[in-house]
Amino acid sequence: MKVGFTMDMRNPRGEPWKQFWEDRLWLFREAEAMGFDYLMVQEHFFTKDGYAPSATVFLTLLAERTSTARIGSYTYVLPLHNAARLAQELALIDHLSDGRLDVTVGSGHRALEYVAFGHSPKTRPSRMEEGLQVLLKAWTERPFTFTGRYYDLKDITVTPAPLQQPHPPLWVAATAPPAAARAGRYGANLHGASVDPAFHQAYRDGLAEAGVDPATRRVSNPWSITVTDEKPEAVWERNKELYFDRWDFYRQIRIEMGDPDLDYGLTPGPDAYRDFELIGDADTVLGTLRGFADTLPLTDIVHSGPTGGVPIREEAYGDLKRFADRVMPELKRW
């Protein structure tokens, strides 16, 4: 089992931005020293709390400030980017990182972002399909030509070519079966966010359609984990408002998107998201994760990091260090 680390980088307390980002870069470096296999930067646009930074800018800094862990996106909202331009930027980062780059793309699920970029949210699937085709062609064909609904590209050459050949490892993020099936059809690794067996079967069906052996691909699921020596409910009570903001953001944007597959079906309340936070000692955390690892085809577990507002150099660091010391060694043996 490989173990990744990401952070949503929200700034609900209004910390000075330069120090805010420096603190998160510091925690990423510490995570590398703790032995995490890869570090991932998230992407959103136009949020009140700054969630999240420009992924490309932040990945460039990570390439400079780290040396052993792989780095990557989690995820680029591909339909909001020109896929050919993104392919060129990522090829550059692949070289700057000495070939440590993984690339995760997804269709996103925030209507405001689509509207702000001049797109209808209803075009998410078709824009995602074309974006994936252009991204892969840009990395593997020189020159390449593509004509579709959204792109009309003739004799385009992306230079430099990626350092990793034929291209950096490609992941597709998905929360629902149709998106998981798409990941499989493109032969991508899957950063999933579902423990529904039907979701994972959809991915395997997509791989079969593409003629790809599932044993050659990786599958992850994220958990928000706090390894603590305190009573779990004490941690929950201290940070419950921050946890609520983290999870209710997703509830709201999924409802706004109008896709029933994205609706949590929860009524918001002070403790509505208690089960979304895995809080406890090492044995509790390992016991919970073991149950999912035994029933799902997971090769990776993603630690989704501290929620916005938790002090990074104190509480967040301590939680992460306990995870790295007490939980991660056992995970890596699975």
Please report whether residue 271 resides in a domain. no
Structure token pair of residue 129:
């399909």
**Domain-located, residue 254:** no
CA 199 from centroid of its chain's CA atoms: 17
For residue 224, tell me if it sits in a domain. yes
Q: Are 44 and 6 in contact (CB under 8 A)?
A: no
In Å, how far from its chain's centre is CA 281?
A: 25
What pLDDT is stored for residue 263 in this prediction?
Answer: 62
Tokens standing for 269? 């309340």
Q: Which residues of the chain have pLDDT under 50?
A: none
Residue 120 zone, left/alpha/beta (φ > 0; ψ -120 to 50; rest): beta
Task: Find the CATH number of the domain harbouring 162.
Answer: 3.20.20.30
Determine the structural domain holding residue 126 and report its residue range.
Answer: 2-230+277-331
User: Is position 312 within any domain?
Assistant: yes
Q: Is the peptide bond before 121 cis (omega within 30 degrees of 0)?
A: no
- Is 285 contained in some domain? yes
pTM of the model: 0.95
**Confidence (pLDDT) at 53:** 78
The pLDDT of residue 257 is 80
Give CA–CA dist 138/264, Å, rounded: 36
> Residue 20 in contact with residue 53, Cβ under 8 Å?
no
Query: What is the number of domains present in the chain?
Result: 1
Instruction: Provide the pLDDT for residue 265.
Output: 66
**What secondary structure letter does DSSP report for 68?**
S
Helix (H, G, I), strand (E, B) or coil at 313: helix
Angle value at C-alpha 114, between 154 and 153, nearest 5 degrees: 0
Other CB atoms within a 10 A radius of the CB of residue 201 amount to 14
How far apart CA 15 and CA 256 sit, in angstroms, is 29
Which whole-number Å values give the CA distances from 87 to 8, 91, 248, 251, in the listed order? 23, 6, 33, 31
DSSP 3-state assignment of 41?
strand
* Residue 156 included in any domain: yes
Question: Is the residue at 88 inside a domain?
Answer: yes
Q: Are 108 and 80 in contact (CB under 8 A)?
A: yes
Phi then psi dihedrals of residue 124, to 5 deg: -50, -55
d(CA 315, CA 70): 25
Let me know if residue 135 belongs to a domain. yes
For residue 248, the tally of other CB atoms under 10 A from its CB is 16
CA distance 280 to 291: 16
